[in-house]
Amino acid sequence: MIRSRAGSTPVDSAPARSARADSPGAASAEGVRNPWERFGWLMAVVWLIFLAYPVRALWESTAPLPWLVLGWAALIAFGVLYVIGFIRGLRGAGGLGVPPSRQQWVIFFALIVCAALTIPAVGGNALSFLPFIMAFASYGLTRVSHWASFIASLIVTAVAVVVLPDGEDYLMVLAIIGLLGVVNTVSTWLIIRSAEAERLGLELATSEGREAVARDVHDLIGHSLTVVQLKAQLAARLIDVDPARAKAEIADVAALTAEALAGVRSTVSGARATTLAGQLASSREGLDAAGISLRIYGEPASLSPAQALTAAWILREATTNVLRHAHASSVAVVIEPGLLRIEDDGRGVAQPEGSGVRGMRDRAAAAGAGLVIRPRGEGGTRVEVAW
């Protein structure tokens, strides 16, 4: 009798799925694919080693040849379907708070059918498939399917322990399934809660960013229109008595209007670049126009969505400061997990700090990050925000 030891199961599917949740569609600005999409299938293949127990059971089985053929075919189909479903889950087909696609459900039920088809050949050793089915339901489908597969696996294994003549051989399987169910419950709950917290943080950061843009536009338009109104009234009074001065005032009105329009366009352009990748592209365009080279080290996907949004706003203000004040010839942007660093080779930190720098500090503080602005040893300025 081959005792099923299927308790060593794809529990580590959770980290893989967590990695996908932390970096959804995480291709970089340069189009680099998420490594999990390229190599995540290796995780599923590694876990297939625990199918060695039903393989051994089939090899030693004395069942009739038709049942053996069916058992081998079902075992191979189970392995292939599990890897396919695992890869699809990594690529966003569903699970962990994301509604699963219809194909994922089809694969799930096909796994159950494949496991059932091996019973005539391997008997109780078909319980070796249950941990795989539980992991697929927990990480690739819904919370309801997680609980349903957990409870059903417990019941099926308990019945096998009581009913089968060699049922005591499966007591360890029963204990492992119970432990696995607890692990899956806790880990998936933590992953889902983390994703929800990330989403709420992103929504909050987005809302704060929109409020900041609204304030910028309001202040800019309010000030400019007030001055334009006063100069227009003055020009109207002077047009008959002092045409030359009236003409000068009208020219000032035109200049103020153009300046206000440029400011609004700049603010709106910055508001549209709400992703770090988008702001990197916008910063490169602006710096190139000023003859300043930009080097980027790292990928936007290194930061979480909420961190990336705050980083985008800080990068925008830092780029503006470089263009206005730094007189730099090059800028370097370093992106690492939990870190954004912007360095230039300009004339150094200006004193005292202006409203732009204060705005960066406020944004960093609101995002739970620390902002440090200091001179570089070889000249220039370093802006660093770290979570």
Statement: residue 335 has pLDDT above 90: yes
pLDDT per position as a tens digit, 170-190: 787 888 888 878 887 887 787
Residue bearing the bigger pLDDT, 339 or 283? 339
Could you tell me which residues come within 8 angstroms of residue 71 by beta carbon, excluding any fewer than 6 positions away? 58, 61, 63, 117, 118, 120, 121, 122
Work out the number of other CB atoms within 10 angstroms of the CB of residue 52: 12
pLDDT at 4 over 60: no
What pLDDT does residue 9 have? 40
Residues 184/136, Cβ–Cβ less than 8 Å: no
Distances (CA, A) of 373 to 159, 168, 343, 344: 66, 67, 10, 12
Residues 6+ apart with CB under 8 A from 379: 345, 346, 347, 348
38-42, 120-124, 175-179, 228-232: which range is least confident on average?
A: 38-42
Q: Is residue 296's pLDDT more than 70?
A: yes
pLDDT at residue 297 in the model = 93
Rg (CA), the chain: 31
**pLDDT of 333:** 94
Give the residue carrying structure tokens 């189009």: 31
Position of tokens 């509604």?
A: 99
Domains of the chain: 10-201 (no CATH), 273-387 (3.30.565.10)
Are 303 and 338 in contact by the 8 Å Cβ rule? The answer is yes
Instruction: For residue range 50-71, list pLDDT tens digits in order.
Output: 788 788 888 888 889 989 899 8
Q: Looking at 229-238, 263-272, 324-333, which range is the least confident one? A: 263-272
> What pLDDT sits at residue 143?
84
End-to-end CA distance of the chain: 55
Confirm if 94 and 104 have CB atoms less than 8 A apart: yes
pTM of the model: 0.47
Distance CA(17)–CA(9), nearest Å, equals 15
Please give the average per-residue pLDDT across 333-355, as a whole number: 83
276-289 vs 305-321: helix axis angle to the nearest 10? 10
Q: What is the share, in percent, of the chain residues with pLDDT greater than 70?
A: 73
Alpha helices in the chain (DSSP H): 13-22, 35-39, 41-47, 52-60, 65-90, 102-117, 119-122, 130-140, 143-163, 171-238, 243-272, 276-289, 305-321, 355-366
Q: What is the DSSP letter of 164?
A: S
The burial class, CB within 10 Å (0-12 / 13-18 / 19+), for 163 is exposed
State which H helix or E strand residue 376 sits in: none
Spatial CA neighbour of 134 closest among 284, 303, 8: 8
How confident is the model over 103-111, as a mean pLDDT?
90
> Which of the residue ranges 128-142, 187-201, 265-279, 288-302 would you say has the lowest mean pLDDT?
265-279
Residues 105, 235: Cα–Cα separation, whole Å: 74
**Core vs surface per residue 303-341: b (16+ CB within 10 A) or e:** bbbbbbbbbbbbbbbbbebbbebbebeebbbbbeeebbb
Pairwise CA distance, residues 302 & 340, whole Å: 10
Residues in the chain: 387
Buried b (16+ CB within 10 A) or exposed e, 53-81: bbbebbeebebeeebbebbbebbeebbeb
Tokens in use for 13?
Answer: 């599917």
115 close to 129: Cβ distance less than 8 angstroms? yes
Sorted by sequence, the CB contacts under 8 Å of residue 281 that are 6+ apart come out as 29, 273
